[in-house]
Amino acid sequence: MSELTEIQIPVSEPYLTGEAKSYVLNCLDSGWISSKGSYVSELEGLFAQRIGVAHAISVSNGTAALHLAVLAANIGPGDEVIIPDLTFAATANAVLHCGAVPILVDVSLQDWTVDVGLIEAAITDKTKAIIPVHLYGNLANMTAINELAARYQLLVIEDCAESLGALYHGSPTGSLGDLGCFSFFANKLITTGEGGMVTTNSSELAQKIRSLRDHGMSVSRRYWHEIAGLNYRMTNLQAAVGVSQMAYFDQFVEKRRYIEQQYRHYLSKLPGMIFMRVPPQCQSVNWLTSVRVDPALTGGISAEDIAMQLRLQGIETRAFFFPLHQQPPYKADDVQFPVSLLLSNQGLSLPTYYRLTNAQIEFVCRSIYNLFSVPFTSE
Ligand SMILES: *Cc1c(COP(=O)(O)O)cnc(C)c1O
């Protein structure tokens, strides 16, 4: 066996601009390297404007954003929060670290987001909130979720970590519920290295989140603590990178949509390569182009087979998340999650990043065609 080929095409890579470097140097030269400094408020202002909300509160990462959102909603021991079974663990961890219980709900086979037909049955008198996760940039059915939330007086916290840039009936993700939580990890649409943001139109929730992220300290009286808080602040260094990224927002979104179109164009021609359904009211953002590989239709070729074939060509891919219900902290043995399990087994994410070229996309697709023994033409 030969050594594994070096990775030529990663699944994801950040695009950092020249402005990023000069803004970061400004921080270093001026000494404003912690969370005080003009880039922090500038980024919050740009972000609030972009999402169309009254308040954007920067935080140290996306998990902190979720944790603060759940804390600010006064959710704690004895409470339940509904989340999809197929998501990154941070969604569930935020609920658990508030002392509440995440109630898992299966996802939709077509959309891959929470199955809204199953939410109502999961609501009890302990339910306080729903956290829809906009997986791979596809927006959950917010109309149905907001209707249920209104009927049962629940809070809606969007997990927007993968959906920045997506629109629902023309409105940006992060403005569709009571609170929106974003991540700026290196593989997200906008990155600050590590970082995150909470968005809301509620002044009360915004004030509480600002206080919680800064030790629960009184704004008018320093070192007087009104609530027990945390230190989840974003640094000026991170915000400087964030401000530089915001200038490329539209280009980032456009390029990712284009990449998905290309992959869909080529791969939809193969049997059993199934893309998520984007609901008509939703303009998804394609965080990572992802495909479900159904071996019953591909002639036995699995997502894992494709991953291995691509890896031999120096192409990196990414498996889907494991269903939460199977993992020790979230175990739910008494409920079935057939769709989440199926997607987790059959899902595969393909290289998706700003600098990915047409030739690289074609190379990825040609490698997959080879495995299917189908001749590839770039038409
Ligand atoms: C990335 C991500 C998060 C967490 O963000 P971090 O910044 O890495 O803490 C939360 N939820 C989802 C769905 C994510 O993809």
Write out pLDDT tens, residues 311-333. Answer: 999 999 999 999 999 999 998 87
Dist. CA 75–CA 168, nearest whole Å: 27
Does 369 have pLDDT greater than 90?
yes
Q: Does any ligand 1 atom lie closer than 6 A to the CB of residue 63? A: yes
Name the residue with tokens 């179109």: 261
Instruction: Provide the sign of the torsion angle of the four alpha carbons 74, 80, 81, 85, taken in this order.
Output: positive
Q: Please tell me the distance between residue 97's alpha carbon and the centre of ligand 1 in angstroms.
A: 16
Q: Please tell me the distance between residue 19's alpha carbon and the centre of ligand 1 in angstroms.
A: 25
pLDDT value at residue 18:
86
Does 379 have pLDDT greater than 90?
no
Q: Please tell me the distance between residue 62's alpha carbon and the centre of ligand 1 in angstroms.
A: 5
pLDDT value at residue 126:
98
Q: Please tell me the distance between residue 370's alpha carbon and the centre of ligand 1 in angstroms.
A: 34
Q: Whose CA is nearest to atom 4 of ligand 1?
A: 62
Mutating to test ligand 1, I would choose from 95, 112, 162, 213 the residue with most ligand atoms within 8 A of its C-beta, which is: 162
Q: Does any ligand 1 atom lie closer than 6 A to the CB of residue 133? A: yes
Does 361 have pLDDT greater than 50?
yes
Binned at pLDDT 50, 70 and 90, residue 234 comes out as: very high
pLDDT value at residue 4:
72
Q: Whose CA is nearest to atom 7 of ligand 1?
A: 62
Give the helix, strand, coil percentages of the chain, each rounded to 5. 40, 15, 45
Mutating to test ligand 1, I would choose from 58, 61, 63, 288 the residue with most ligand atoms within 8 A of its C-beta, which is: 63
The pair of structure tokens assigned to 175 is: 């403005």
Burial 63-73 (b: 16+ CB within 10 A, else e): bbbbbbbbbbb
HSE of 9, CA atoms in CB hemisphere, 13 A: 27
The pair of structure tokens assigned to 49 is: 């404007």
Q: Does any ligand 1 atom lie closer than 6 A to the CB of residue 90? A: yes
Q: Please give the radius of gyration of the chain, using alpha carbons only, rounded to the nearest integer.
A: 21
Chain segment 116-157, per-residue pLDDT in tens: 999 999 999 999 999 999 999 999 999 999 999 999 999 999
Q: Does any ligand 1 atom lie closer than 6 A to the CB of residue 86? A: no
According to DSSP, residue 118 is labeled G
Q: Please tell me the distance between residue 183's alpha carbon and the centre of ligand 1 in angstroms.
A: 5
Q: Does any ligand 1 atom lie closer than 6 A to the CB of residue 108? A: no
Q: Does any ligand 1 atom lie closer than 6 A to the CB of residue 87? A: yes
Q: Does any ligand 1 atom lie closer than 6 A to the CB of residue 320? A: no
Separation in Å, CA 351 to CA 73, 259, 295, 312, 321: 37, 9, 21, 15, 16
| Mean predicted confidence (pLDDT) in 192-203 | 98
| Mean predicted confidence (pLDDT) in 65-93 | 98
**Pairing relationship of beta strands 127-130 and 155-159 according to DSSP bridges:** parallel
Q: What is the largest CA-CA distance in the chain?
A: 71
Q: Please tell me the distance between residue 90's alpha carbon and the centre of ligand 1 in angstroms.
A: 6
Q: Does any ligand 1 atom lie closer than 6 A to the CB of residue 140? A: no
The pair of structure tokens assigned to 231 is: 């230190």
Q: For helices 203-213 and 62-72, what crossing angle results, to 10°?
A: 120
HSE of 242, CA atoms in CB hemisphere, 13 A: 30
pLDDT value at residue 219:
83
Q: Does any ligand 1 atom lie closer than 6 A to the CB of residue 88? A: yes
**Pairing relationship of beta strands 196-200 and 179-183 according to DSSP bridges:** antiparallel
**3-class SS at 375?**
coil
pLDDT value at residue 2:
54
Residues annotated as catalytic are 188
The pair of structure tokens assigned to 167 is: 């629109």
Dist. CA 271–CA 227, nearest whole Å: 57
Binned at pLDDT 50, 70 and 90, residue 1 comes out as: very low
Mean pLDDT of all residues belonging to the chain? 96
The pair of structure tokens assigned to 194 is: 């590590």
Phi, psi at 159, each rounded to 5°? -90, 100
Does 115 have pLDDT greater than 60?
yes
| Mean predicted confidence (pLDDT) in 42-61 | 98
Does 3 have pLDDT greater than 70?
no
The pair of structure tokens assigned to 303 is: 């997502």
